[in-house]
Amino acid sequence: MCLGIPGQLTEIFVEETLRMGKVRFSGVLRSVCLELVPDAVCGDFVLVHVGFALSRIGAEEAERLTALLDELARSEQAFATRPPGDA
């Protein structure tokens, strides 16, 4: 199983013959490989796993997934800060 993170494509460029792009994840920009989504254009939302954009997704789906991941992070934070033995 893999976890894909939604982000918005902000820039497209070629690096050593590979189609690459800059993708924004909650304010952070990362370079990702776009070879698996040749039809992606700037402004599109993509699902990214280990540096590869796997698919294009709609803005509503990206927003829904981002909210879900934020909720999971808050739950993990709450769990990690509980005193030992607290159920």
Which segment of 21-25, 43-47, 77-81 scores lowest on mean pLDDT?
77-81
With 90 as the cut, is the pLDDT of residue 36 above it? yes
Number of other CB atoms surrounding residue 22 within 10 Å: 16
pLDDT of residue 79: 75
pTM: 0.82
Distances (CA, A) of 54 to 6, 49, 63, 66: 10, 7, 17, 16
Task: Report the pLDDT averaged over residues 24-38.
Answer: 95
Task: Report the pLDDT averaged over residues 63-69.
Answer: 90
Q: How far apart are CA 47 and CA 60, in angstroms?
A: 13
Q: Could you tell me the pLDDT band of residue 43, with boundaries at 50, 70 and 90?
A: very high
pLDDT of residue 1: 63
With 80 as the cut, is the pLDDT of residue 86 above it? no
Task: Report the pLDDT averaged over residues 42-56.
Answer: 96
Which of 83, 22, 85, 77 has the alpha carbon at shortest distance from 53?
A: 22
